[in-house]
Structure 1
């Protein structure tokens, strides 16, 4: 690989990493006390992909140890945002299901960053951000498949 290509891809992922850190800090600052971005991320994943997944499936999706996912799920259970049900395919494991309060938590969390989004929109119009989404989704799909 030539240096120019390497630099382009490194710069791309470097910018993504910085954006991830900045957006994480903004979101976590707005979440209710005792809740973290991993809590929000699991709820968001269950809505975006589907609920009814096992903790192990979620751990693999987030590339974290099962014990870490169990800890995150326990926090969501304590807040009443998810419930565990027996796995109909395997009586030994459980599946994770969203509750109505969990769905409301996600919507409230998204709404909570409206001030930051409004300021961003003043600097960069929504149309420019929307134009980036297809390429970002294409890269995400590739990288998600590549890790498997």
Structure 2
């Protein structure tokens, strides 16, 4: 059900909900809204999952197995295999044999993959610029350490 235009946004929970629930609900809502908006401005044919894999490999400066990527993104291995296959078909990643164990194949970002990630970042530029006019840079910088700390805490408590 769409929110009535002009009505005030509702809070993240119900009166009396524990603070933890309010925080986690707000994060979940933001993640859903941001993800949908994010994907709407990515270059044609690139999904949020594909951009995420490219960004992950570059951010960590690593090559990972499909299993490691599936674990990092908390998806099933067949789901990650499909994402990697689509990236490979586009020439954005390559599967390379592990030098220590030839049976293991690692996902490596290609030059085209780096360029695609950069194109995605550039496509997101106007969106980020607009958001920066709505939420001052000072406020965003102030909440970033807390968000990072929450991410680390949640990452350490992933279910097996």
For the criterion TM > 0.5, the same-fold answer is: yes
TM-score (norm 2): 0.84
Is contact 2:41-2:124 (8 Å) kept? yes
| Cα distance, 1:51 vs structure 2 | 2.3
SS in 2 for 1:95: strand
> In structure 2, what is the equivalent of residue 26 of structure 1?
37
How do 1:52-63 and structure 2 match up within 5 A? Answer: 52-63=63-74
**Deviation larger for 132-141 or 108-117:** 108-117
> In structure 2, what is the equivalent of residue 146 of structure 1?
157
Q: Deviations over 1:86-130 (max 9, x none)?
A: 012221120011111111111111121222222211111111101
The reply to whether residue 68 of structure 1 matches residue 79 of structure 2 is yes
**Deviation larger for 113-122 or 40-49:** 113-122
TM-score (norm 1): 0.90
Specify which structure has the higher proportion of helix: 1
SS in 1 for 2:18: helix
Is contact 1:59-1:66 (8 Å) kept? yes
1:110 to 121, 128, 139: 121
Aligned length: 145
Q: Deviations over 1:32-79 (max 9, x none)?
A: 332210000111111112321111111111111111111000111011
The reply to whether residue 100 of structure 1 matches residue 111 of structure 2 is yes
The reply to whether residue 127 of structure 1 matches residue 138 of structure 2 is yes
Unaligned 5+ segments in structure 1 are none
Is contact 2:42-2:124 (8 Å) kept? no
> In structure 2, what is the equivalent of residue 136 of structure 1?
147
CA-based RMSD: 1.6
Structure 1 outlier segments of 4+, above 6 Å: none
User: Which of the two has higher C-alpha Rg?
Assistant: 2
Indicate the structure whose relative CO is greater, using CA pairs within 8 Å and at least 6 residues apart: 1
The reply to whether residue 81 of structure 1 matches residue 92 of structure 2 is yes
